[in-house]
Structure 1
């Protein structure tokens, strides 16, 4: 914490005016002596620096994203003609509710294959039972029983594969309609995208016909530079500002810090879960994230105390009354109008916090 001594800060302007009329400053390498008659003695404001808690903040660009586990692209596993749209764009749906009904010849083929496989299995079981009875009565040869056994095993495998195909499609084995396939919502949410149209034929079984998303909770994903990774921690407070809502600030906490660094941008992703039951956050929105780092002791000085001298950053340290030393320092993050000094100063040293420009070359 800086404590000021000397005249008010307004004296700097007067000191600058009078400096030209005062005896010249006496420079000895990095040391500067101010003559007794110089008005600079009253113009400079000096204060001691002390270590104090400092929680640096990080600014990072971000974007609003839907939670990956709560966004599902509905891809029909079968081609066919859309005969009914049960929901429209923007409708809320529950898990298991029908979304689209498709008239699919491929579904009819799957049911026919299943019917044939079940019939073949029934016939194979009857043949095997008959061969067992004949073999026990010593009427048929053992090879006939073995052939019937192999036929039964093959029929069981085919029947099982046909039934598993129906299960994979989500089609009940005892459905009344053998051509109409009902596409159902896998999660509760809202229909946020729709590509199919009533009466249209859908033949691309790799493209999404609908997208259902639960946006009651969304992610704000911020890109933090690699150099700031050490200041990140799960649970740290995050303030979020959106261009869509000027003047409003939303609060959150870091829930996940990426394990990988983007090799192109040299950033790591920090994700913040946001309650979106009011629907204010839309996936794709740009955001501005301010992350509060952990508190740590630091030497904070007013920005006016730090001067740029060529490529070096310096402050003027008071080594004795009216005697100052130019010292190079390493500047860290800012806290409002104060700067954290990482190296170059020790607690208790007194520096020029205002008017140092009058001492600078």
Structure 2
């Protein structure tokens, strides 16, 4: 019984701090006991800090890993697209008549053609006056005025063609559309631009003609990237079947050149804030990596940046790591 009492006393003492103070009313020293809750030291085997998750070897072993290796990808991806313009023969015109999906585009294209014609005229005048001026047969002022007119015409050409580019139309491509053809555009993800080449074969399935796929070829890949969608415009020329109209929706499958890239399983991917990540094994846990992806074959996906060959990526319980990493 004494042993039990002593044990309880020691336990209470361990949870208590004793402070001495003077009680002015009592006139003598009074012992005041203030209880303090004891907090035993704790240890943890998990520590998450942003892109790093520290785990002991026992817990880390619960996650399945796959070694990232190089693999050859040659996958033709389907892209959303639509018919931008169709070309019809016109007897009174030397070039085919282009019909666009909206009157605004038709007007912008016509304006660009007029600007090009004016530029050609002003350049001819400037060149002629330049030749005359060198022989003393033309005034310097006339040559200066002609050169200013040519510069203004060139500026107008750039302005009108910029309107077409804003609408996703390449002015240079439009001049290459022959009668009886249709121009189809598709949005190519930024990561796959290097896999598509000019003159590549493309299969176009028009929504209005699901049983009549059209074979075409890539005639241009835009130099600019849409900052909102992170895609580049691919222009495809196809023979125009009857009944095709500008504005029709299409599904485009573009032939892509084979390329080698680091491959990981799709099960390793997690999405957050419109970005893609994977978790890589490190000596004391895992580290989160942001990825730039390339083509995939449905099971494996090409990683263009973010993971090196030989690194181990997590392929199971990735949502648990995502929660630890992002603080969900």
TM-score by length of 1: 0.42
Larger Rg: 1
TM-score by length of 2: 0.45
